Structure 1
Amino acid sequence: MDTSEIEKSKAHITVEIIEYIPNSVVIKTILKKSTGNISVMSFDSGEGLTEKTSPFDTFAQIIEGDAEIVISGNSNLLHTGQSIVIPAHASNLVKPNGRFKMILTVIKSGYE
């Protein structure tokens, strides 16, 4: 069994897959394939992700709390239940707005 992914063929409460750890960003892999991956992340208050770019489209879903996702300089404040597509090759960063959890789905398609 691949222990880097969550258990298959078993129901999960998505928001409970990952816990908060003080002063940390925690990442848990749901699925990891050559064609893409799905991860759930928790961010403690004051924690975020630095600016980066990805060669692939990324779908970000907020599953608990609020977060600011800045894409190519444009700020987007997302709340629980909201999502956004981060286009391939666009600079992006995640700013904290208190504790929050999100799911990131990366689709590794052909050359974009």
Structure 2
Amino acid sequence: MEFNSETLNESGKQCRARDELRAKVLNLKDLVGYQDGSVSSRMIVSTRTGSVTLFSFDENEGLSEHTAPFDAVVTILEGECEVWIQGETHQMKEGNTIIFPANVPHALSAVTRFKMSLTMIRDTEHD
């Protein structure tokens, strides 16, 4: 899997690009495009307490099993995918949302090309 991030670092250019999204009506699935054979992302909010990142996955692409130190809310914006949380499989499609609990193994794989929104909520009491 090739990973292509449009805005992973905190350079001034990317931060200004996120600022331009504020106070506007947005269609989230239009803010990240597909790229053949890869996963693309675009961070649209990043704060000390959390972030919102949009992803697009080409068919058969995915994220291998991993954990995160805080809860993550995933909403499918377009297409279909399979999600695994601690060994349990979930079929997801546009409009579905699932919460990945902190420190629990999870993974996902594209059934079709799909886009998702990932909202990470940091537990600042344990930072």
Structure 1, unaligned runs of 5 or more: none
- Point out 4+ residue stretches in structure 1 off by more than 3 angstroms: none
Q: Which residue identity lines up with residue 21 of structure 1 in the other structure? A: Q
Relative to its length, the structure with more helix (as a share) is 2
Flag structure 2 segments of 5+ consecutive residues without an equivalent: 1-11
Query: Identity rate of aligned residues, in percent?
Result: 32
- Structure 2 residue 65 is the aligned partner of structure 1 residue 51: yes
State the Cα distance separating 1:73 from its structure 2 match. 0.5
Aligned pair count reads: 111
1:2-41 equivalences in 2 (<5 Å): 2-3=15-16, 5=18, 7-41=21-55
TM-score (norm 1): 0.93
The structure where strand makes up a greater share of residues is 1
Cα RMSD (Å) of the superposition? 1.3
- Residue-by-residue CA offset, 1:32-86 (whole Å, 9 max, x unaligned): 0110100010001111001100010000000101111100000011111001000
2:115 equivalent among 87, 101, 105: 101
1:3 CA displacement: 3.2
Q: Which amino acid aligns with 2:16?
A: T
C-alpha distance in structure 1 between counterparts of 2:41 and 2:111, whole Å: 18
